[in-house]
Amino acid sequence: MERGGLDPILGELTFIGLGLFDELGISLRGLEEAKKADYVYAELYTSLMGGLSIESLQNLIGKEVHVVDRRLMEDESGEPILEKAEESRVVLLVPGDPLIATTHIDLRLRAERRGIRTRVVHAASILSAATGLSGLQNYRFGRNVTIPFPEPGFVYETPYEVIRENRGRDLHTLCFLDIRVEEGRFMTVKEGLEALLKVEEEKKLGVVTPRSLAVGVARVGSDNAVVKADYVERLMGYNFGPPPHTLIIPAGRLHFVEAEALITLAGAPAEIREMVT
């Protein structure tokens, strides 16, 4: 098979999203594609799927699922997967939507350069799910950012600066909270807010203060998902339960529908109506 005069297609690599929480998040199309594959791999280190059972996933697909780690995907550039895909149908299962992480885009580019056809089967993403659950309007979100775990003697200022830039443009900020699957560490809403407040102590720009409004989201896609909005000083004491957690820092002003949604759906204090313009 030729691609418009380019090199012939050898095999096939399909990236399939698993969705947000457990094996039931895979789409019907994704499930059918996985069933037709010769080899099925799953990458589970870029995001936490708290309800995922590999055994149940294998039963759904009807074949073995090979779980790959960061070393294979990044240090080895996914080479074992690409070697199989040169002559076979290979599927890579990915948490959320497949091409959000740079790692997966890099693997797709490597495959295409080697003449391996690639396809994508999309699934639900935290990008849309968390913002939708909050009740904040999607078009009012600016650049998103990850809050890393702090390192001894070092403060990460980038998340704070991204929030400052977004608020300067009257936009909300979606903050991913660091996860280190290999270490079993998953940042909580409280830890994320503590990291931002630490930068605020140094910068003193009023970007994230104890009286700032924030929204915490936990276990999106599960039956016991939690969405809670409150002032930072109170939100830090709220029990969100097990991970994964996500944090949203709203803009300084709210649309009236956003305010009502935060009050009704996320238990925000009624006085946030004063933020409506």
Assigned CATH class of 126-275: alpha beta
pLDDT at 36: 95
Burial of 277 (0-12, 13-18, 19+ CB in 10 A): exposed
pLDDT at 155: 82
Let me know: does 235 contact 214? Beta carbons within 8 Å: yes
Let me know: does 28 contact 134? Beta carbons within 8 Å: no
Burial of 43 (0-12, 13-18, 19+ CB in 10 A): buried
Assigned CATH class of 12-121: alpha beta
Output the tens digit of pLDDT for each of the chain's 277 residues. 444 444 445 689 999 999 999 999 999 999 999 999 999 999 998 889 999 999 999 999 999 999 998 889 888 889 999 999 999 999 999 999 998 878 899 999 999 999 999 999 999 999 999 999 999 999 999 999 999 999 887 889 999 999 999 999 999 999 999 998 888 899 999 999 999 999 999 999 999 999 999 999 999 999 999 999 999 999 999 999 999 999 999 999 999 999 999 999 999 999 999 999 8
- Hey, where are the domains in the chain? 12-121, 126-275
Torsion angle of the four alpha carbons 46, 49, 54, 57, in this order, in degrees rounded to the nearest 10: -110
**Amino acid type, 38:** D
Beta strands 39-43 and 65-68, pairing class: parallel
pLDDT at 3: 44
Does 126-275 match 12-121 at the fold level?
no
3-state secondary structure 118-136: EEEECCCCHHHHHHHHHCC
Give backbone dihedrals phi and psi of 15, rounded to 5 degrees, phi first: -95, 125
User: How far, in Å, CA of 4 to CA of 12, rounded?
Assistant: 17
Spatial strand order of the sheet with 117-121 comes to: 65-68, 39-43, 89-94, 12-17, 117-121
Which residues are paired to 182 by β-bridges? none
